[in-house]
């Protein structure tokens, strides 16, 4: 194996390892009561206890994405039917459980598609196949551990290296995403692990779609995580979270949260999404983990 190939393999393995770390951190948050997730434990082999600053950081990230997702899923044209079919495409989804959470709450989209390295999707397919999650994707679902695929009417898990643009296009076609339906595209802590040329090719390919994407991105909004935490989470919910653990790392917390951001851009040809985003008068309303739930960077 050449040094270049070896370096590429090592880099890929390191990126895949971040998935296990993220899943363990999410379970730590759940166990401490920051948020509810009935499914993350299926994907964590050895539970760990994270520090309060990590728990709070993962909670803030989860709350920010959830805000945008709920806005997208509940958006509608004024006076029209609420049952507009919608899609979610998650790039580098890892062991994320958002689909199962949304399904539990009765607000899952018409189609939810997850893409990641085959090494990751194979493990996820196996864990789904060997747990009660198998019923969640439907009795008629086709699950292949070898190919790293789960194919059902409303949920699809497919393997692809995002850097291979042609294969990415083919996999998106295989997922049967409808280009005419409103689609929420998630790239949560994914593009930062790619080289600049690869990330540019994903965000704005050199075609008519890419040119439109560039125009959209010129109107993009970006908030750092400190802004989101301070201004876009309901005051009562924030008070509840801040009582969960002793916390005195405020200087480090501010520095860390200002280091991360959420950026989003919207192409709203259907006139559905004028109320999506982070503004001072919109708040993340997150149900308490101790209570039944009422019915993420795009």
Residue 174 CA: distances (Å) to CA of 78, 153, 237, 286: 33, 12, 41, 34
First-residue to last-residue Cα distance in the chain: 37
Say how many C-beta atoms besides its own lie within 10 A of residue 41's C-beta. 15
* Residue 80: pLDDT band with limits 50, 70, 90: low
Residue-wise pLDDT tens digits, 196-211:
888 888 877 676 666 7
pLDDT of residue 278: 85
Q: Averaged over 139-150, what is the pLDDT?
A: 95
Question: Greater confidence, 51 or 80?
Answer: 51
Which positions ≥6 away from 192 have C-beta within 8 Å? Answer: none
Q: What percent of the chain has pLDDT over 90?
A: 63
User: What pLDDT does residue 298 have?
Assistant: 38
Residue scoring higher pLDDT (277 or 125): 125
Question: What is the rounded distance in angstroms from the CA atom of residue 227 to the CA atom of residue 279?
Answer: 10
Q: Is the pLDDT of residue 291 over 50?
A: no
The top-scoring range by mean pLDDT among 14-18, 223-227, 265-269, 271-275 is: 223-227
Q: Place 258 in a pLDDT band, splitting at 50, 70 and 90.
A: very high
Q: Mean pLDDT over residues 114-129, rounded? A: 97
Separation between Cα atoms, residue 173 and residue 178, nearest integer Å: 9
79 pLDDT band (50/70/90 cuts)? Answer: low
- The confidence band for 217, taking pLDDT boundaries of 50, 70 and 90, is low
Instruction: Quote the CA–CA distance of 76 and 83 in Å, as a whole number.
Output: 8
Could you tell me which residue, 282 or 181, shows the higher pLDDT?
181
Could you give the CA distance from residue 266 to residue 212 in angstroms, rounded to a whole number?
11
Q: Per mean pLDDT, which of 106-120, 211-225, 271-285 is the most reliable?
A: 106-120
Q: Is the pLDDT of residue 5 over 60?
A: no
Q: ∠ CA 212-92-278 to the nearest 5 degrees?
A: 60
Is residue 142 within 8 A of residue 149, CB to CB? The reply is yes
- The DSSP output letter for 293 is P
Average pLDDT of the chain to the nearest whole number: 86
Both tokens of residue 225?
């995580």
Residue of 115, 112, 121 lying closest to 153 (CA atoms): 112
pLDDT 10s digits, 7-53: 455 567 777 778 999 999 999 999 999 999 999 999 999 999 999 99
Query: What value does the mean pLDDT take over residues 255-262?
Result: 94
**Above 80 in pLDDT, residue 1?**
no
298 and 184 Cβ atoms separated by less than 8 Å: yes
Q: Can you read off the two tokens belonging to residue 209?
A: 């779609």
Strand positions, DSSP E, the chain = 87-91, 111-116, 142-144, 149-151, 155-159, 183-186, 221-224, 261-264
* Predicted local confidence at residue 2, as pLDDT: 45
> Which superfamily, per CATH, for 3-264?
Vaccinia Virus protein VP39 (3.40.50.150)
């Amino acid at each position: 194996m050449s040094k270049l190939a070896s370096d590429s393999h090592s880099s890929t393995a390191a990126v895949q390892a971040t998935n296990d770390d993220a899943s363990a951190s999410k379970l730590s948050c759940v166990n401490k009561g920051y948020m509810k997730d009935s499914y993350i434990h299926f994907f964590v082999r050895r539970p760990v206890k994270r520090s309060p600053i990590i728990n709070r950081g993962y909670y803030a990230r989860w709350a920010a994405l959830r805000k945008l997702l709920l806005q997208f899923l509940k958006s509608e044209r004024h006076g029209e039917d609420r049952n507009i079919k919608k899609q979610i495409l998650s790039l580098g989804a890892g062991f994320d459980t958002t689909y199962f959470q949304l399904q539990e709450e009765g607000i899952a989209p018409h189609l939810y598609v997850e893409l990641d390295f085959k090494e990751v999707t194979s493990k996820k397919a196996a864990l789904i196949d060997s747990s009660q999650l198998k019923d969640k994707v439907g009795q008629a679902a086709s699950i292949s551990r070898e190919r790293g695929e789960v194919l059902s009417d409303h949920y699809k898990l497919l393997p692809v290296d995002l850097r291979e643009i042609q294969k990415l296009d083919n996999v998106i076609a295989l997922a049967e995403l409808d280009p005419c339906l409103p689609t929420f595209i998630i790239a949560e802590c994914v593009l930062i692990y790619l080289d600049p040329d690869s990330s540019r090719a994903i965000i704005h390919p050199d075609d008519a779609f890419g040119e439109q994407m560039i125009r959209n991105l010129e109107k993009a909004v970006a908030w750092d995580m400190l802004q989101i935490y301070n201004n876009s989470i309901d005051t009562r919910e924030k008070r509840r979270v801040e009582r969960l653990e002793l916390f005195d790392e405020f200087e480090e917390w501010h520095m860390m949260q200002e280091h991360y951001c959420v950026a989003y851009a919207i192409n709203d040809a259907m006139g559905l999404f004028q109320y999506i985003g982070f503004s001072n008068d919109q708040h993340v309303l997150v149900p308490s983990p101790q209570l039944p739930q009422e019915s993420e960077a795009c």
